[in-house]
Amino acid sequence: MDPAASIIMAAALVFYSIGVWSERIAGRLKPWHLAFFVLGLICDTWGTGLMLEYAGGLTFDIHGISGLIAILLMLIHAVWAGIVLLRKDEQAIQNFHRFSVAVWVIWLIPYFSPMLFQIGG
């Protein structure tokens, strides 16, 4: 794997985790959480692009498909967070972390699947 892709993907994990878990701990969505969601999405998309170049395209296995789903969910997550903040719906702001944690858990599948399959293979 391209070392730059590994570093960028690790940055995605850090940014996205900070955004999700700080929102969860705060108990409400704040604009700076959205900034970390977006930074995580940017790094994940960038790192995925580098990995796709290295692999010669999308792989139709658990890693490739779950990775594509995860990026789409991260995009939906960031857009929805922006909408919730713009609407200033207090109930949605306080409950948004449920969606955030769910997307984060799903995102971990493609992040860790190469390591898990390497152990078994």
Angle in degrees, 0-180, between the axes of helices 90-120 and 31-55, rounded to the nearest 10: 30
User: In one letter, which amino acid is 9?
Assistant: M
Our count of domains for the chain comes to: 1
Q: What are the distances in angstroms from CA 65 to CA 27, 34, 45, 106, 109?
A: 32, 25, 14, 12, 10
- Assessment of whether the complete model's pTM goes beyond 0.75: yes
Handedness of CA 56, 58, 60, 61 (dihedral sign): positive
Using one digit for the tens of pLDDT, what is the confidence trace for 49-94?
888 787 677 777 777 788 889 999 999 999 999 999 999 999 999 9
Task: Please count the other Cβ atoms lying within 10 Å of the Cβ belonging to residue 61.
Answer: 11
Using one digit for the tens of pLDDT, what is the confidence trace for 108-118?
988 887 766 66
